[in-house]
Chain A
Amino acid sequence: AQKITQTQPGMFVQEKEAVTLDCTYDTSDQSYGLFWYKQPSSGEMIFLIYQGSYDEQNATEGRYSLNFQKARKSANLVISASQLGDSAMYFCAMREGRGFKTIFGAGTRLFVKA
């Protein structure tokens, strides 16, 4: 069964607008971590944001925020004020329990239009 589901293979957003990238996850562990990574066309993996399952507040890092809805098992990434440089593939990932194995979703390709 899919542990991490990203249902949007591609998304378009107008420059300066906000965009939400969806991510749902499946786990029976009470303790887990959720991550978002950005992969530009150059191929590197850039860490964006982390949310722990016990964190009560939604994580924020600059223009990135993670909309964590535990009951719905969703961890959507919100990018505010999109920039052309935000065009990239975005991966949602999860680490379960006390382990360090990180499972990635299939990714969403974001296109920012000028």
Chain B
Amino acid sequence: EPEVTQTPSHQVTQMGQEVILRCVPISNHLYFYWYRQILGQKVEFLVSFYNNEISEKSEIFDDQFSVERPDGSNFTLKIRSTKLEDSAMYFCASSDYKGNEQYFGPGTRLTVT
């Protein structure tokens, strides 16, 4: 069964550094998403991406964040100048054009020290 994959599973970085979180969505899906979940809290929408551009973003997704689909398979989230409060689980998801079923990857746990 096709699945969304994410790498790395755990990333530790120092405050102020840049990180890139990588995702490979399901191959025939058209919409891609990033969510984050701070430990013990709700899942928060960051951004959706379609046709090589951002379709929607939340207020969390400020200039510190960017997304890219550098090739036909990868979908990346870049976080510049990381802060302690960026520590969270980051989930990538993908869906077909209906968006009724968003399939989540296993997540990348980001720890900023």
Residues of A participating in the B interface, judged by any CB pair closer than 8 Å: 33, 35, 37, 43-47, 50, 52, 91, 93, 95, 99-107
Interface presence of B58 (CB below 8 A): yes
Whole-angstrom CA separation of A45 from B33 in the bound complex:
13
Contact A43 B99 (CB under 8 A): no
Counted as pairs of residues, one from A and one from B, with CB atoms less than 8 Å apart, the total is: 56
Contact residues, B65-113 vs A (CB, 8 A): 89, 91, 93, 95, 99-104, 106-107
Contact A45 B56 (CB under 8 A): no
Interface presence of B52 (CB below 8 A): no
Interface presence of B43 (CB below 8 A): yes
Contact B48 A105 (CB under 8 A): no
Q: Could you say which residues of chain B place their CB within 8 Å of the CB of A99?
A: 48, 55-56
Q: Is the interface of B mostly helix, strand, loop or mixed?
A: strand
Contact (A101, B48) CB under 8 Å given A43-B107, A91-B42, A107-B42: yes
Q: Could you say which residues of chain A place their CB within 8 Å of the CB of B45?
A: 101-104
Residues of B participating in the A interface, judged by any CB pair closer than 8 Å: 31, 33, 35, 41-45, 48, 50, 55-56, 58, 89, 91, 93, 95, 99-104, 106-107
Q: How far apart are B102's CB and chain A's nearest CB, in angstroms? A: 7
Contact B56 A101 (CB under 8 A): yes
Q: Could you say which residues of chain B place their CB within 8 Å of the CB of A45?
A: 43, 91, 93, 104, 107
Q: Could you say which residues of chain A place their CB within 8 Å of the CB of B55?
A: 99-100
Q: Could you say which residues of chain A place their CB within 8 Å of the CB of B91?
A: 45
Q: Could you say which residues of chain B place their CB within 8 Å of the CB of A46?
A: 104
Contact B42 A102 (CB under 8 A): no
Whole-angstrom CA separation of A45 from B95 in the bound complex:
14
Q: How far apart are B29's CB and chain A's nearest CB, in angstroms? A: 12
